[in-house]
Structure 1
Amino acid sequence: MSLGPDEFDLDPTLCHLNHAAVGPWPRRAAEAVSRFSEENSRLGSLHYPRWLATEHRLRERLARLVGADSATDIALAKNTSEALSIIAYGLTWQPGDEIVGIAQEFPSNRVVWESLATRGVAWKALDLDGSADPETDLFALCTPRTRMIAVSWVQYARGLRLDLARIGAFCRANGILFCVDAIQGLGALPFDLSRADVDFVVADGHKWMLGPEGLALLYVRPSLRHTLVLHQFGWHMLEHSGNFDRRDWEPAEDARRFECGSPNLLGVHALEASLAVIEEVGIEQVWRELQLRTAHLIEGIDRHGLELLSPRSTERRAGIVTFRVPGRPAAEIYPELMQRRVLCAQRGGGIRFSPHFYTPFEVIDRALGEVLSLAAH
C-alpha cells in the first residue's frame, strides 16, 4: 500500500476491531478538521467558497465510490436513518403495498418500513436463520403487491453479504424498487451502481469510510428523484439557492433537493479527507487487504476452537467476523474485552470483530490472545 506509516495514529495499547460500529479517523481527517476550526476561529467565513469547493470534492468522491454518473447525483444527509426516511416518506404508497426485507436488520432499516403500517403498507421479513439462499428466499416473499425490496448490503451482526446484482436484476424484471443500506460495505468493498442496478443507496460515513458521525450519502436514481414527495424545505434545496430575494421557487433538479438547510461543513472536511485516503489506496486494494485480515482472523478462530458465526465463503463475507466462545456467554466476554482495550462489539449472539485494510495482523493476534485468556478462566 502507498500509505505512510503515520496515516493512522491509534493508541498502540488499543486493539481497534470495531469499524462496523464507529471507525477511527485517519490522521489527515483530524488535521483537516483542526485546520478548518482554526481558520474559522481566526478568519470567520472569509474562505467560505473554499469550504464549498471541499464539499464538492466530497460529492465527487462519493459519486466515484458508488459509481454514480455525477457529483450532482449525491445528496448529503445527516445520517442513514434520515436518508431512509426521506425515501420511505417520499414514495407514494397505496394500502396493501408490500416491502420485503430481512428480520435481522439493524433497526434503522427495519423501523422506518414498519412505521408505514399506518398507511396500510406491510413489511415482510425473511428470517436469515432459516435461509440457505437468502436471495431466493427474498424473491419467494414477493407478490404482485410487492413495491420494494429494502435490505442492507452487509448484515451488521454477522456480516452476511448479499448479492446485489442478483437482487437488482430480479427487481428490474418484476418492476420492484430496490433500496440498499450500504453502510457496512462502502469504504471496504467495491460498489458499482451499473452492476447492482439499485434505485436508492444510503450510508453514513462513520464506519468503513472512516469519517465522522452526522454525515451520510443519499443516492436516488435520477429518474426517480422527482417521484419522491418532499417533506423538508429550506433555502439550500432550491434551484436558485443563492438568490435570496427571489420570491418564486422550485426544488433543485439535482440531488440537492433533498438537503433543506446549511451543510455540515465540519463533517464535510473530515469525510472528504478520509475518503482521500481510501481513494489513494484504491478500493480494490482496500478490499484485497481486508480479505487477508478477515481470512487471518477466521483461521485463528478455527485454530483455537472458537465458533465462527459469520459466513465462511468469501462470496458471502465482508469485513465483519462474529464468533462465539464455547461455554462463555458473549455478554460476559464483551465487557472484559473492552476493559482489556480490545475495541469490539456484542452482536449476533457473539463477539463481533471488524478490522479494516490497515489493521496490523499483530493487533488481530493480540485480540484473539485476550479472548483465549478470558476463555481459560
Structure 2
Amino acid sequence: MLKLSDEFPLVPGLCYLNHAAVAPWPKRASEAVRRFAEENIGTGARDYPEWLKVEKRLRERLTRLLNASSTADIALVKNTSEALSFVAFGLDWRPGDQVVISDEEFPSNRIVWEALGPQGVEVVQVSLAGSDPEGALLAACGPRTRLMSISSVQFASGLRLDLPRLGAGCRGKGVLLCVDAIQQLGAQPLDVQACDCAFAMADGHKWMLGPEGLGVFYCRGDMREKLALHEYGWHMLEHAGDYDRTEWQPARSARRFECGSPNMLGAMALEASLSLLEEVSMQQVAQLIEERVLQLQEGLERIAGIQLHSPLNPARRAGILTFNKDGWDNQALFSKLREQQVICAQRGKGIRLSPHFYTDPMSIERSLTVLSQLRQG
C-alpha cells in the first residue's frame, strides 16, 4: 500500500506550500536519478536502450495525463516558454492579426506574443475581473483574431477557467486555442480533446513534481505541419538514427520540435513522479488538493485582518490561495513566513499558498498558527 510519508518524508518544522512555484520531488524520483547517476558512473551509456524505454513510458504517461489522442501529439521540451515560442514563431502571421490573452498572465504567456509586434501582430488583453471571464475572452475575439492563449489557472489569483467552454467558443469563431497548463497539469484533470485546444504546454517542476528543465508540448495532429520549424538537428528527423541517409524530412510526430539529444536525466525523474500521480489518480489528487485549500481558506477566514484574493468557489480554483494581511507589507510578510519555515511565494496582490495532495494537514495548521500569532508589521 502506498504510504505518502515514504515518498515525502516530513522535515520537522517545514511547511511547504509552494507547489505553484517549484515542487519537492517524491522519493521515487530521487531514487530514479540516483540509479541513473550510478549507471553513468559504472557503465556509461551501455544500457541506453533501457533509458529509451523510460523516455517512452514518460511520453505515454503524459499522453494519458493530457488525454491526448496519441503519443505522436507529445513533444518533450525544455520549458513552457520554449513551447509557447514554437507556436508564436511557427504560425504564419499576417499584419493586423490579433492574439487574445488575459490581463493576469505570467510573463511567459505575454512577452512571447508581444514579441510578434514587428510582424504587425496586435495583443489584446482582457480583464478577468468580471463574473464571466470566459464570456469576456470570447467577446474580445473578432474577425482579426487568430489565436487565444490563456493560462488554464492564473498564477497569482488561482482563477481556473472553463476550458471546454473556451474551446467550443474559439472553434465557433475560427480561433485557435493555446493553453498554458502549468498551474493545472498535475493538480487537476486536463483533457485537451474535451477543450479542443490546438496547443497546450506545461513545465514538469510544479504540480507534476518533477525537475526543472523538462516539460511537455501538446500539438494537435492537424497543426503540427502548420508550425514553421526554426530548430533543426538529428533528433527531429523522421528517420532519426539513420546517420547515413542524406535525404531527410522532419518527423511527422511532435518529435519534430525536439531538435537534439534528449534530457534523459530529467526524463528519469519526471517519469517516476508521474507514476506517483497515476498511482494515486488525478481525481483523487484533485480532491485532496481541494481539501487542503479549503482547510487553508477556512483557517485564514478566522484570522483577523486577512483578505483573500482567490476564488472561493471550488469549481473556479485548483491549488492556489492568495491573501494579504492588514498592517503588513507583502514583502515583509513573505520574509517573516520564510523565517518561520512556511515556504510560499509573493505573487499578485499578496502571499500565494499552494499545497499539494500529499501536504500534511498538520503543517497547514502550523502555518495558520504562525499567521495568527504575527503582530502588525
What is the TM-score when the length of structure 1 is the normalising length? 0.98
Unaligned runs of 5+ in 1: none
Distance in 1 of aligned mates of 2:219 and 2:230: 16
Within 5 Å, which residues of 2 pair with 1:149-160?
149-160=148-159
Q: Which residue of 2 aligns with 1:246?
A: 245
Distance in 2 of aligned mates of 1:142 and 1:3: 48
Deviation at 1:10, TM superposition (A): 4.4
**Counterpart of 2:271 in 1: which secondary structure?**
helix
Question: Is the Cα–Cα contact under 8 Å of residues 97 and 145 in structure 1 kept in the other structure?
Answer: yes
Q: Which range is displaced more, 367-376 or 209-218? A: 367-376
Within 5 Å, which residues of 2 pair with 1:111-260?
111-129=111-129, 131-260=130-259
Question: Is the Cα–Cα contact under 8 Å of residues 333 and 374 in structure 1 kept in the other structure?
Answer: no
Partner deviation per Cα, 1:181-201 (whole Å, 9 max, x = no partner) = 000000010111221111100
Within 5 Å, which residues of 2 pair with 1:17-32?
17-32=17-32
Unaligned runs of 5+ in 2: none
Partner deviation per Cα, 1:292-330 (whole Å, 9 max, x = no partner) = 111111001111131111001111111000011112121
Matched, 1:300 2:299: yes
**Counterpart of 1:179 in 2: which secondary structure?**
strand
Question: Is the Cα–Cα contact under 8 Å of residues 84 and 112 in structure 2 kept in the other structure?
Answer: yes
Within 5 Å, which residues of 2 pair with 1:1-377?
2-129=2-129, 131-305=130-304, 306-376=306-376
Distance in 1 of aligned mates of 2:242 and 2:107: 40
What is the TM-score when the length of structure 2 is the normalising length? 0.98
Q: Taking every aligned residue pair, what percent have the same amino acid on both sides?
A: 55
Distance in 2 of aligned mates of 1:15 and 1:347: 18
Question: Is the Cα–Cα contact under 8 Å of residues 141 and 173 in structure 2 kept in the other structure?
Answer: no
List 4+ stretches of structure 1 deviating above 6 A: none
Question: Is the Cα–Cα contact under 8 Å of residues 334 and 346 in structure 2 kept in the other structure?
Answer: yes
Distance in 2 of aligned mates of 1:96 and 1:376: 52
Distance in 1 of aligned mates of 2:14 and 2:303: 22
Question: Is the Cα–Cα contact under 8 Å of residues 205 and 217 in structure 1 kept in the other structure?
Answer: yes
Question: Is the Cα–Cα contact under 8 Å of residues 147 and 177 in structure 1 kept in the other structure?
Answer: yes
Deviation at 1:4, TM superposition (A): 4.4
RMSD: 1.1
Question: Is the Cα–Cα contact under 8 Å of residues 90 and 226 in structure 2 kept in the other structure?
Answer: yes
Question: Is the Cα–Cα contact under 8 Å of residues 3 and 281 in structure 1 kept in the other structure?
Answer: no
Question: Is the Cα–Cα contact under 8 Å of residues 328 and 375 in structure 1 kept in the other structure?
Answer: no
Distance in 1 of aligned mates of 2:365 and 2:237: 53
Distance in 1 of aligned mates of 2:81 and 2:134: 24
Counterpart amino acid of residue 290 in structure 1: I
Deviation at 1:376, TM superposition (A): 4.9
Deviation at 1:244, TM superposition (A): 0.6
Distance in 2 of aligned mates of 1:346 and 1:147: 34
Counterpart amino acid of residue 328 in structure 1: W
Distance in 2 of aligned mates of 1:283 and 1:90: 32
